[in-house]
Structure 1
Amino acid sequence: MSRPVSPLRQAALADLDGLRHRHPDAFRTPLRQRLALTGILAAIVGLAVFGMVRLDFSLWRILAGLHRLGEFGVMMLPPSAGGQFALFLKALGETLAIAFLGTLTAALFAFPVAFLAARNAAPNPFVRFTAKRGFDVIRSVDMLIWALIWINVVGLGPFAGALAIACSDFGALGKLFAEAIETADRKPQEGVTAAGGSALHRLRFGLLPGVLPVLASQVLYFFESNTRSATIIGIVGAGGIGQYLTELIRVLELRQVAFLVLMILATVAAIDWVSGRLRRAIIGPAAH
């Protein structure tokens, strides 16, 4: 049995029908727009099909290899440290140190440069263009590539890993910092200027108090993400637990691999919980 339609809803539907009758063009999608949307969707599907053909994508090969994946899963049970728990724990601490120092270094260097890229902080367009394109160039290089570069410069070890994270995050954090500065509330800045403050006073007392919580939240999120990234770059020799992970996978010590994966998952979950609480404490629950 259908529910009765309320008089208010009936009036709204009647008014909508009247608007459609009086202004049909406003409710009709133009032919050019429909053709453009169809063309975009067709191009996306065409590129996807072309990519799968070029990359020799085969669903059959995936299904045929599932039994091998199942064998690996069985070989991982039960997870075991193999008497190397203390060594693994030390490597995990090294991974956390790489992520922390890399993120902190990137944030400290990106913070002042971001003001040069923000329109409301740097009036010179040449300076803004140079700073923004610099951020784009640096963040266009993947963290793994930075790790390989720094390994060849300073050698194997966690120092190269921290430098790789710092370089990669410098570009990303710089861009985010600059956008946060540009979109900051202008009223406090106008108040400082109206009170006779200089441009430096406007930035210090009108801009910074509003953007610092947002910047701190972004840094916390990047630290959480870099904990996972530090594991990946450890695989290429940049220190941390990833180095043990790749060696154990190579020799098929999968029970120890499973133990390392569980350690990483537990650590990331703990950092995510702590980071989430800190972000809520800094910028308030409304932002989440």
Structure 2
Amino acid sequence: MSDSPLRQRDLSAIAARHPAYFQSSWRGRALTASIVAAMLALLVVAMVRLEFTPERFFSGISRLGNFTVLMFPPNSEGKFWFFVQALGETLAIAFAGTLIAALLAAPIAFLAAINVVPNPFAHFTARRGLDVIRAIDVLIWALAWVSVVGLGPFAGVLAIICVDFGGLGKLFSEAIEATDTKASEGVISAGGSQLHRIRFALLPQVLPVMASQTLYFFESNVRSATVLGIVGAGGVGQYLQELLRVLGLPPLCVLIIMILVTVAVIDRISSRLRLAIIGQPQKR
């Protein structure tokens, strides 16, 4: 308490020497307030245009509660093994799509990395191409591939490949650009070629990151693949759509529980693998 007057005098001295840092910026505050007000106004307009009303919201919550009550007790009604087969198909779609996308994205990522291909035209073309591919949602890709190759899980695999190719390619290229330059300089100074630099300097640094990102995408794709069947791209989505359409709520509850358990197990295993790959201790 005794040094508070000293601190006050020090603060006053600093304010006297640097008055610009202690002056209130009314212009900045007005700009911030204007931005917040504009965002709130846009939110209100959006809610009006989308016909969002409290009555409809609470009515929907009430109906959702009724559906939830009608789901219990869960009963597969003899479809359990069909659900297991469809769930296995969903996992296969996610695994195949993610792995193939990672294998295709890895070489493109080196082309998109500025520290590997310094040519600005090649770098720009590769990056923008990846951005265009990943900008389209997986369901849109699934609809497109169903129209091209027909119904079934093959269309789902192709849809995941397209989306993950763009996403993984971007993340891989950023990981390559973030590598330590000392290892590359050492390989080049020892007389190594560009291929030697990639093989012995860049790959050892980025492979753990690439593997970790691929596992994360696999986790996400397990969840995404569950709805691909709604558009005819295989997996459990077709059962979800059918049961919802006919209000088969007890078997729907069984299927939802199976999906939740599967996703939880996959997330747990994948998280432990990612931590092991990047060398972090396991969380207990």
- Which TM class, normalised by the smaller chain length? over 0.9
In structure 2, the residue matched to 1:119 is: 114
Cα distance per residue 1:223-281 (max 9 Å; x no partner): 00000100111111111111111101111011111111111111111011001101100
- Give the match for residue 273 of structure 1: 268
Displacement after TM superposition at 1:13 (Å):
6.9
Equivalent residue for 2:206? 211
1:233 maps onto 2:228 in alignment: yes
Confirm or deny that 1:154 pairs with 2:149: yes
Aligned partner letter, 1:98 = I
Letter matched to residue 109 of structure 2: A
The 3 A distance-change label for structure 1 pair 89 and 186 is: same
For 1:21-100, list aligned pairs within 5 A.
Answer: 21-28=16-23, 30-100=25-95
Distance 1:33 1:255 in 2: 57
Alpha-carbon shift at residue 286 of structure 1 (Å): 7.2
AA at the equivalent of 2:104: F
Q: Give the percent of matched residue pairs that are identical in Structure 1 and Structure 2.
A: 60
Q: Cα RMSD between the aligned structures?
A: 2.1
CA distance in 1, matches of 2:24, 2:102: 46
Once the 2 structures are TM-superposed, how far is the Cα of residue 130 of structure 1 from its aligned partner? 0.8
Q: In the alignment, which residue of structure 2 is the partner of 1:262?
A: 257
List per-residue Cα deviations over 1:40-74 (Å, max 9, x = no partner). Answer: 22222222111111111111211123322221011
* Secondary structure of the structure 1 residue equivalent to 2:266: helix
Per mean C-alpha deviation after superposition, the further-off stretch among 251-260 and 14-23 is: 14-23
Task: Give ranges in structure 1 of 5+ residues lacking alignment.
Answer: none
**Distance between the aligned counterparts of 1:12 and 1:214, measured in 2?**
48
Q: Could you give the per-residue CA deviations for residues 171-198 of structure 1, whole angstroms, max 9, x where no partner exists?
A: 1111111111111111211121222222
Which among 247, 271, 285 is matched to residue 280 of structure 2? 285
Name the CA shift for 1:73/1:187 in 2 (closer, same or farther; >3 Å): same
CA contact (8 A) 2:276 2:282 kept: no
Name the residue aligned to 2:164.
Answer: 169
Among candidates 112, 124, 141, match of residue 129 of structure 1? 124
Paired AA for residue 159 in structure 1 = F
Partner Cα separation in structure 2 for residue 170 and residue 13 of structure 1: 59
Q: For residues 11 and 233 of structure 1, what CA distance do their matches in structure 2 show?
A: 68
The count of residues paired between Structure 1 and Structure 2 equals: 283
SS at match of 2:275: helix
Structure 2: 5+ residue stretches without partners: none
Output the amino acid matched with 1:217.
Answer: S
| AA matched with 2:265 | A
Whether contact under 8 Å (2:70, 2:250) holds in the other structure is: yes
CA gap 1:192/1:53 in 2 versus in 1, 3 angstroms: same
Contact 2:138 2:160 in 1 (8 A): yes
Whether 1:189 and 2:184 are equivalent positions in the alignment is yes
Structure 2 residue identity aligned to 1:148 = L
- TM-superposed CA distance for 1:109, in Å, is 0.7
Q: What amino acid is aligned across from residue 96 of structure 1 in structure 2?
A: L
Give the TM-score taking structure 1 as reference length. Answer: 0.92
In 1, distance between residues paired with 2:103 and 2:280?
Answer: 26
Return the alpha-carbon distance in structure 1 between the equivalents of residues 249 and 124 of structure 2: 50
Letter aligned with residue 175 of structure 1: K
Q: What letter is aligned with 1:119?
A: I
